[in-house]
Amino acid sequence: PSWKMPWFKGWAIERKEGKADGKCLIEALDAILPPSRPTDKPLRLPLQ
């Protein structure tokens, strides 16, 4: 925390996979879980 934002104590999130917490934007971006991709379905590509 900085002296400009003494009220900010950080962020925390709890999910099924576990708990994540941090203090800055980079840590928040690193804590994002990518969506699961359906690997059991056929690949579909749009043709134009």
Domain ranges across the chain: 1-33
> Is the pLDDT score of 1 beyond 70?
no
Q: For 21-44, how does the pLDDT look when each residue is reduced to its tens digit (9 = 90+)? A: 888 889 888 888 888 888 898 888
CA separation, residue 46 to residues 17, 43 (Å):
34, 10
pTM score of the predicted model: 0.54
Measure Cα distances from 32 to 3, 14, 48 in Å.
Answer: 27, 12, 33
Share of residues in the chain with pLDDT > 70 (%):
98
* Residue 2 pLDDT > 80: no
